[in-house]
A = this chain, B = another copy of it.
Amino acid sequence: MIEQEASTPQVVSEYVYRRQVQYRDTDASGIVHFSAFFCYAEEAEHAMWRSVGLSVEPRETEIGWPRVSASFDFRRALRFEDEIEVRIRVVAKNAKTFTFESVITCRGEVAAIGTITTICVRKRSGEPLKAIDIPDEIANRFQVAAV
């Protein structure tokens, strides 16, 4: 679906994703609902995959990436129309899992820091999800970021 261009990097450790807070992200307290931060981190993760010419979920794939754990610490509220930056880094890579850390900033200040661990599974119709080793052609594209 997404073809790799000549300029596509081969390996990624860190990626910066930018987007604006949309109205639906907010709740009646006037700020962004805490569950939306997890979606921001996921959007950054998927953009990171695309940055190395991959899709986390190409059409007709049998491979999926459910989450093993997800957490965020919240430091500052975000509001409608805030321009945010999600700096996502590969912080761990194992046979079956990746762990990504996302630092969300707005106007140069940290709004939240979160971590998501995702596991590679085989999805087959009528069968439960089964954890599998990350295929080499994917694993080779992600490298743990230097500290």
Q: 0/1 per residue, A1-45, Cβ < 8 Å to B? A: 110000000000000000000111011111101111011001100
Please name all residues of chain B whose beta carbon is closer than 8 Å to the beta carbon of A133 when the two chains form the complex: none
Residues facing B in A96-147 (CB within 8 A) are 123, 125-126, 129
A70 in the interface (beta carbon within 8 A): yes
Please name all residues of chain B whose beta carbon is closer than 8 Å to the beta carbon of A73 when the two chains form the complex: 68-69
A77 in the interface (beta carbon within 8 A): yes
A38 nearest CB neighbor, chain B only:
B35
Q: How many copies does the complex hold?
A: 4
Q: 0/1 per residue, A51-85, Cβ < 8 Å to B? A: 00001110110001011111111100101110000
Residues of chain A touching chain B, judged by Cβ–Cβ distance below 8 Å, are 1-2, 22-24, 26-31, 33-36, 38-39, 42-43, 46, 50, 55-57, 59-60, 64, 66-74, 77, 79-81, 123, 125-126, 129
Q: Mind listing 21 A-B residue pairs with CB under 8 Å?
A: A22-B39, A22-B42, A22-B43, A23-B33, A23-B56, A24-B39, A24-B42, A26-B27, A28-B28, A28-B31, A30-B123, A31-B129, A35-B36, A35-B42, A60-B125, A60-B126, A67-B74, A68-B73, A68-B74, A70-B71, A71-B71
Q: A22-B43, A59-B126 are in contact. List 18 more A-B contacts (CB 8 A).
A: A22-B39, A23-B57, A24-B42, A26-B28, A27-B27, A27-B28, A28-B79, A29-B64, A29-B66, A29-B123, A30-B30, A34-B38, A55-B80, A60-B126, A67-B74, A69-B71, A69-B72, A71-B72
